[in-house]
Amino acid sequence: MSGVGNVKLIGDDGKRIDGRALNELRPIKMEAGVLKRAEGSCYLEWGGNKVIAAVYGPREAQPRHSQKVDRAIVQCRYNMAPFSVDERKRPGPDRRSIELSKVIGHAFENVILLDKYPKSSIDIFIEVLQADAGTRCAGLTAASVALADAGIPMRSLVAACAAGRINGKVCLDLCKEEDNYGDADLPIGVAARTGEIVLMQMDGDLSGEEFDEAFKLAIEGCAKVNEIQRQALMNRYRSEPQPMAAEGNGGVC
């Protein structure tokens, strides 16, 4: 977010560089249950972002001193593949990925029913395969579906989306160029059922009025993202038509 104000990101027709309206999300595709060895998983494409999330656990927390006697702990790892960005990223954790792992983990601590699993760990892995801005929102959104797919009890799914300001205008879901040359970015994660904000960060500056507008827009974006999450889970668990019962077994298989 460089805030280089003279890069034209909104055309005279009011459209953005990728043709979207100011309040429009990038296309989102989501599929739950894509990994056979994880307890739960989700693959997400969101604009140019490609993200996979996997959940393991609840399992006994190790080392033992990390265990909490009355609840589970959430361990989250957000990782960007070296080939996910323009300039090869050095493999392994850096300050940014440690921060994102922490804030995404905290977001889920607010919705998972942790007291059901004392001394356990719920592990969330977020792998960014291709990055195009908004990967923390994409990762949080995919991880929420992976947790639901793993059958982890939660108060609510968490949907995330960012709004920001480009060329002085508040708009939804910044792509890479908008993130690079825009003025501000406000990613938000919402527990969809309760409306609780479980993640909120801000990069750049917004006036009070712009903040209110961006906040409202991001919340509306989260509601749309949540619809897609629900659809992905319904597609996964929609009951398949049963094969015709073999004659003579009374229909009981």
Among 76, 133, 163, 192, binds ligand CDP (CB under 6 A): 133
| Torsion sign, CA atoms 139, 140, 142, 143 | positive
- Report if residue 101 touches ligand CDP, rule: CB under 6 A: no
- Report if residue 86 touches ligand CDP, rule: CB under 6 A: yes
Q: Closer CB to ligand CDP, residue 46 or residue 215?
A: 46
Cα separation values, 232 from 31, 33, 42, 178, 195, Å: 5, 9, 9, 28, 21
Q: Closer CB to ligand CDP, residue 102 or residue 116?
A: 102
- Report if residue 102 touches ligand CDP, rule: CB under 6 A: no
C-alpha torsion angle, residues 145, 147, 150, 155 (rounded to 10): -100
Binding positions for ligand CDP, 160-179, rule CB under 6 A: 176, 179
CB of 84 to ligand CDP, least distance (A): 8
Q: Closer CB to ligand CDP, residue 78 or residue 117?
A: 78
Show the beta-strand stretches assigned E in the chain.
28-32, 40-46, 49-60, 73-80, 120-130, 158-166, 169-172, 184-191, 197-200, 203-204
Q: Applying CB under 6 A, what is the total number of residues that bind ligand CDP?
A: 12
The pair of structure tokens assigned to 223 is 């509601």
- Report if residue 10 touches ligand CDP, rule: CB under 6 A: no
Among 59, 88, 96, 116, binds ligand CDP (CB under 6 A): 96
Query: Applying CB under 6 A, which residues contact ligand CDP?
Result: 85-86, 89, 96, 131-136, 176, 179
